[in-house]
Amino acid sequence: MKRIFLTLTLITLYASVAMAQFSFYLIDNFESGEFKEGPKWWRFGDLKVELISNPTLEGRDLIAESCGQYALRFSGGTDDWYIGGIGTELAIDASDYSRFQIDMTGDQKLSGKLIIEFFDDDNQNYMIEQDANNNYLPVNDDKWVAEVYVQGEGFTRTSIPFTAFKDVNPGVGDDIWNPDQKDGSGGLLKMQLVAISKEQKGAVDFAIDNLLLTY
């Protein structure tokens, strides 16, 4: 009896450890096989986006395998660094998570970088009011930013702790990372990904996959 009880306890313990480890919030892995601008994603600037098939794997690669069949390709050119981006509404309580994770694959010629932007609600209205005359910066809420440099061929996994994101509108919002839905706040409302060229006059061509919040 004692042994059965111990076994059950161990199974329960392993199960909860496993659940904790695999707990994450999937923003998108593009496995639906289609990318439509429309309810889920919007696009801005001159960035071109298209769904692509991931290459057939030769040999084992844990991260490439986890990218499944499809990824989202970003391409486009610029005369002045900025190319464009995509965004999505989140409207979640993200206080259980501590990191943003993304898989990206580039090529040998072009590199550039991806800016990741999060917006948390600080005036309890489930909306981000933005100033069209001031780079679309929020006027009541925080905007948090981190950057990832595009590497060469093959998927590179990047996991950025929320603590590494910088508030880019000090004095606006409360300048505190508080993506929770406490006290009427809408929590983490929105994410945008913005592609920037490596050269002032240049281009980008890379793909993204497995966008998620983890801890």
Question: Which residue type occupies 207?
Answer: A
- Of residues 93, 96, 117, 167, which one binds Ca ion by CB under 5 A? 167
In the block, residue with structure tokens 């298209």: 50
Q: What tokens does 146 get?
A: 């981190």
Q: Does 174 bind Ca ion (CB under 5 A)?
A: yes
Q: How far is the CB of 171 from Ca ion (least distance, A)?
A: 7
Nearer to Ca ion, 47 or 72 (CB): 72
Q: Tell me if residue 36 falls in helix, strand or coil.
A: coil
Burial readout 134-166 (b: 16 or more C-beta within 10 A, e: otherwise)? eeeebebbbbbbbebebeeeebbebeeebeebe
Closest CA to 151 of 198, 117, 118, 116: 198
Contact code string over 100-139 relative to Ca ion, x by CB under 5 A: --------------------xxxx-x-x------------
Token digits of residue 136: 């679309």
Q: Which CB atom, from 131 or from 199, has the smaller least distance to Ca ion?
A: 131
CB of 87 to Ca ion, least distance (A): 15
Count of residues in contact with Ca ion, rule CB under 5 A: 23
**C-alpha span between 112 and 206 (Å, rounded):** 9
Minimum CB distance to Ca ion smaller for 203 or for 212: 212
Identity of the residue, 61 or 79, whose beta carbon is nearer to Ca ion in the bound complex: 61
Q: Which is nearer to Ca ion, 132 or 176 (CB)?
A: 176
Contact between 68 and Ca ion by CB under 5 A: the answer reads yes
Shortest Cβ 139–Ca ion spacing (Å): 9
Q: Is 178 in the site for Ca ion (CB under 5 A)?
A: yes
Q: Give the count of beta carbons closer than 10 Å to the beta carbon of residue 122.
A: 19
By CB under 5 A, name the one of 112, 142, 193, 205 that touches Ca ion: 142
Between strands 188-196 and 82-92, the pairing is: antiparallel
Q: Where are the alpha helices (DSSP H) in the chain?
A: 2-21, 62-66
46 or 167: whose CB is closer to Ca ion? 167
Q: Which residues bind Ca ion (CB under 5 A)?
A: 29-30, 67-68, 70, 120-123, 125, 127, 140-142, 167, 169, 172-176, 178, 209
